[in-house]
Amino acid sequence: GAVVSQHPSWVICKSGTSVKIECRSLDFQATTMFWYRQFPKQSLMLMATSNEGSKATYEQGVEKDKFLINHASLTLSTLTVTSAHPEDSSFYICSARDKRGGTSGSTDTQYFGPGTRLTVL
């Protein structure tokens, strides 16, 4: 159980276009999803926290108008990179919080998607 999918797995786009990345929890409901960015051979940088039915919470330094997040259902969150530029090229990873298994949600675990490689030409 606890499978998270991402689509697409890779995308190449021209500078100035927008790209949408989907993150789905396949066998559990996720009230909270997270979006990360990872540069080669580096750790994950949290971009934003996506809460179902409410606005996303962005980390300091992340432009919310550039990285639009929508968490429309308990199993789907989308990240749209608007007016993409070459410096936005990166590996984007989502995770979904599975709160099953704990009486108070305190034993929850984040499960990660396989990632999306974005290349902006």
Partner 1 sequence: AQSVAQPEDQVNVAEGNPLTVKCTYSVSGNPYLFWYVQYPNRGLQFLLKYITGDNLVKGSYGFEAEFNKSQTSFHLKKPSALVSDSALYFCAVRPPLRGDYKLSFGAGTTVTVRA
User: Residue 107: is it exposed, middle or buried by C-beta count within 10 angstroms (0-12/13-18/19+)?
Assistant: exposed
Position among 34, 35, 58, 67 found at the interface with partner 1 (CB under 8 A): 34
Calculate the alpha carbon distances from 59 to 25, 31, 37, 66, 86 in Å.
23, 18, 12, 13, 21
Measure CA of the first residue to CA of the last residue in the chain; give whole Å.
37
Applying CB under 8 A, does 29 fall inside the site for partner 1?
Answer: no
Site string for partner 1, 48-67 (x = CB under 8 A): -x------------------
Applying CB under 8 A, does 113 fall inside the site for partner 1?
Answer: yes
Applying CB under 8 A, does 32 fall inside the site for partner 1?
Answer: yes
Nearer to partner 1, 57 or 70 (CB): 57
Smallest gap from residue 83 Cβ to partner 1 (A): 26
